[in-house]
């Protein structure tokens, strides 16, 4: 079955303020989708609206594109397939970048402002509504959303219900595998920065890095969970001196999506590591801390000489203990640790 893609990037917002990275990000993601050794999608199955390809950036809001109907038209072929109970393809990739927001009363919501949005008139594409509609009606086996846009809230703006038909969910809706990657958690913002001479979204940069470099599992598959872990592991490094955005990435390891295949390398470290900050009480100074896995295997040793330090650990639950003090504590990674009892 075929794979499909939608790529949206909007830089120009005369009624708000212009951005500089979304078009670069959408073009880069589209390129990844189309490369045979990467996404491998047929060009005929990839639809895009990239604002700089539609018209020059203008301060006149009457010239702004894409408009809300144009954005929604990208989804209409899939909505029509749902209405006809057609199972259209294997995977749908959705990439969205620009100004975004969330509904104040729905923490799971996400919308993208159309180019003609303004402070009091929130013309928008209800991204999360379309995603979950297609899920409910089993149009694809897998839906992958990458959204590099803010999800802040405004007292003036609510996400309007899109013009979607109403009918019963498909009996196979529970089979759909999902990857929802938001560059901002609810009521949080995303950031862009200059990366190698081009303005790029920090989140999109991390996603594309993960697609290129996240290790394959033993079956030669790079899955949603592996992409999620890899992104969390590198996002601070990409942000550099900038504060990294608070991400929201949903991937279910029991129903994991398949991004790309590549050769499994047994000598490559399969689990990404996370920087774990330890904050310890004075009584632990000058003692040795040991981190063990559930099976008792030693993961790390550290001589405690300061009250704050950082260790790189893989994801999971571990036992931290200091034998000389008969101290034991269960810790979870990712997450920060306080040792004070």
Query: Which residues are CB-neighbours of 143 under 8 A, at least 6 positions away?
Result: 91, 92, 94, 131, 134, 135, 176, 177, 178, 179
Question: Do 202 and 335 fall within a single domain?
Answer: no
Last residue of a domain, one of 261, 295, 330: 261
Last residue of a domain, one of 235, 261, 287: 261
Considering the domain boundaries, does residue 266 fall inside one? Answer: no
Question: Do 241 and 285 fall within a single domain?
Answer: no
- Determine how β-strand 337-339 pairs with β-strand 273-280: parallel
Question: Do 305 and 248 fall within a single domain?
Answer: no
Considering the domain boundaries, does residue 238 fall inside one? Answer: yes
Question: pLDDT tens digits for 74-89?
Answer: 999 999 999 999 999 8
CATH number of the domain encompassing residue 168:
3.40.50.1460
Question: pLDDT tens digits for 233-246?
Answer: 888 888 877 676 78
Question: Do 44 and 160 fall within a single domain?
Answer: yes
Is residue 151 within 8 Å of 110, Cβ to Cβ? yes
**Rounded Cα–Cα distance for residues 24 and 43 (Å):** 19
Between 110 and 240, residue with greater pLDDT: 110
- Domain count for the chain: 2
Is residue 141 within 8 Å of 108, Cβ to Cβ? no
Other beta carbons less than 10 A from residue 120's beta carbon: 9
Question: Do 159 and 296 fall within a single domain?
Answer: no
Q: Which domain holds residue 212?
A: 3-261
**Rounded Cα–Cα distance for residues 95 and 100 (Å):** 13
Question: pLDDT tens digits for 167-218?
Answer: 899 999 999 999 999 999 999 999 999 998 999 999 999 999 999 988 888 7
**Rounded Cα–Cα distance for residues 17 and 274 (Å):** 35
């Amino acid at each position: 079955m075929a794979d499909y893609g939608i790529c949206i990037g909007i830089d120009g917002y005369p009624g708000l303020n212009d951005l500089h990275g979304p078009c670069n990000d959408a073009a880069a993601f589209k390129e990844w989708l189309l490369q045979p050794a990467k996404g491998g999608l047929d060009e005929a199955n990839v639809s895009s609206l990239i604002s700089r390809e539609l018209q020059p950036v203008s301060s006149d809001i009457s010239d702004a594109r894409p408009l809300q109907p144009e954005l929604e038209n990208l989804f209409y072929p899939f909505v029509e397939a749902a209405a006809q109970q057609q199972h259209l393809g294997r995977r749908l990739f959705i990439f969205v970048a620009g100004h975004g927001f969330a509904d104040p009363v729905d923490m799971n919501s996400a919308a993208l402002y159309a180019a003609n949005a303004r402070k009091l008139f929130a013309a928008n594409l209800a991204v999360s509504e379309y995603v979950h509609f297609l899920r409910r009606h089993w149009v694809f086996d897998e839906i992958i959303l990458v959204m590099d846009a803010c999800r802040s809230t405004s007292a003036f703006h609510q996400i309007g219900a899109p013009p979607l038909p109403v009918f019963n969910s498909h009996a196979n809706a529970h089979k759909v595998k999902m990857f929802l990657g938001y560059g901002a958690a609810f009521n949080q913002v995303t950031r862009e920065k200059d990366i190698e001479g081009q303005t790029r979204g920090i989140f999109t940069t991390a996603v594309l890095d993960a697609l290129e470099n996240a290790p394959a599992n033993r079956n030669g598959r790079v899955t949603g969970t592996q992409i999620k872990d890899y992104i969390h592991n590198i996002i601070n490094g990409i942000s550099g001196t900038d504060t990294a955005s608070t991400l929201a990435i949903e991937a279910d390891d029991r129903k994991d999506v398949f991004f790309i295949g590549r050769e499994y390398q047994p000598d490559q470290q399969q689990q990404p590591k996370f920087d774990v900050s330890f904050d310890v009480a004075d009584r632990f100074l000058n003692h040795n801390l040991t981190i063990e896995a559930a099976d008792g295997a030693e993961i790390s040793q550290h001589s405690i000489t300061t009250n704050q330090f950082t260790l790189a650990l893989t994801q999971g639950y571990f036992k931290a203990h200091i034998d000389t003090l008969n101290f034991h504590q269960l810790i979870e990674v990712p997450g920060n640790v306080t040792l004070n009892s």
